[in-house]
């Protein structure tokens, strides 16, 4: 039995116990029932159905957002990025810690249908869950090396790169729908907008959406890559959010979803906080 199959069996054993002794009313995990081997979210409420649960390198979707609005204790099979998302949802008061049982999975990285590593997994910095109620280990998972941020570019070069990506976008909002952090009932892009949308959205609307979303995710993105995985047009918007994430980490020393005690950078204020603009320069009191 491979290491991943062993992990999968431990997930099923855990789910069976959690449901049998009523520690959890529902177990959210993965089922091997998608297209091209992609695992899909599955909600198990009966012990007889735990055999549907799997764990492999196609367990791609971030399951954290399915916890919002649920009643009763819910167990979740959580990759490290999912666990970070769960932590952030707790910190942001979207779910209660006592209502969730985190089955933390050591993760070797996810792949696409061809077996190639997903881009988000190539740059992943956290491959074991930072917070969990039980951990299912993988001896083949090794610590990752710190990622080097992209080299700084000039304003013109940055604008050219951003414009190139925006030209691909059809403003379908798949990235928003896939993102655990986009849980607003009404998005800023939908306020006052009619039910129809123009066939070819203009560049301004696309830039407004992606820049606005990047700012809303400042200090909140767990770099799971769900936005990139969901995009049918191949738009690389994750690089922009990663830069904002690095910016927040550099200024405030905050990494999203690693601790239940730490407050998100955007929810705190200190009189001596640095004030640095995205275009450079720093304000001095």
Dmax (CA) of the chain: 64
* Chain position carrying tokens 């001596």: 272
What's the CA gap between 119 and 261, in Å, rounded?
30
- Quick check: 50 and 15 in contact, CB under 8 A? yes
φ, ψ of residue 75 in degrees (nearest 5): -95, 145
pLDDT at 133: 98
User: Environment class of residue 34 by beta-carbon count within 10 Å: exposed (0-12), middle (13-18) or buried (19+)?
Assistant: middle
What's the CA gap between 128 and 104, in Å, rounded?
7
* Chain position carrying tokens 């005690």: 261
pLDDT at 193: 64
Going by C-alpha positions, the residue among 130, 7, 125, 123 that lies closest to residue 57 is: 7
What's the CA gap between 105 and 81, in Å, rounded?
10
pLDDT at 242: 87
What's the CA gap between 54 and 33, in Å, rounded?
10
Q: In sequence order, which residues have a C-beta less than 8 Å from that of residue 128 and are 6 or more positions away? A: 80, 104, 106, 107, 135, 141
φ, ψ of residue 99 in degrees (nearest 5): -95, 0
Residue 204: Cβ within 10 Å count: 9
pLDDT at 246: 86
- Low-confidence residues in the chain, pLDDT < 70: 145-152, 192-200, 277-285
């Amino acid at each position: 039995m491979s290491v991943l199959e062993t992990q999968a069996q431990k997930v099923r054993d855990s789910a069976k116990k959690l449901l049998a002794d009523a520690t959890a009313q529902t177990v959210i995990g993965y089922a091997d029932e998608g297209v091209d081997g992609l695992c899909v979210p599955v909600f198990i409420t009966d012990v007889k159905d735990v055999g549907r649960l799997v764990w492999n390198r196609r367990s791609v979707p971030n399951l954290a957002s399915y916890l919002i609005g649920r009643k009763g204790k819910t167990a979740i099979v959580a990759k490290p990025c999912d666990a970070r998302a769960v932590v952030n949802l707790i910190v942001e008061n979207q779910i209660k810690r006592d209502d969730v049982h985190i089955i933390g999975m050591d993760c070797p990285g996810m792949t696409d249908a061809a077996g190639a590593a997903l881009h988000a997994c190539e740059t992943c910095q956290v491959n074991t869950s930072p917070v969990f109620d039980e951990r299912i280990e993988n001896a083949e998972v090794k610590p990752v090396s710190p990622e080097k941020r992209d080299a700084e570019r000039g304003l013109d070069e940055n604008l050219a790169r951003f414009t190139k990506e925006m030209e691909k976008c059809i403003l379908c909002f798949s990235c928003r729908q896939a993102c655990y952090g986009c849980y607003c009932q009404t998005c800023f892009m939908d306020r006052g907008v009619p039910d129809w949308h123009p066939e070819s959205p203009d560049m301004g609307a696309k830039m407004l959406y992606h820049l606005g979303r990047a700012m809303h995710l400042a200090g909140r993105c767990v770099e799971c890559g769900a936005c990139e995985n969901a995009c049918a047009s191949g738009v690389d918007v994750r690089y922009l959010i990663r830069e904002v994430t690095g910016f927040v980490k550099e200024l405030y020393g905050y990494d999203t979803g690693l601790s239940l005690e730490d407050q998100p950078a955007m929810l705190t204020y200190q009189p001596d906080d640095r004030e640095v603009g995205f275009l450079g320069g720093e304000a001095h009191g």
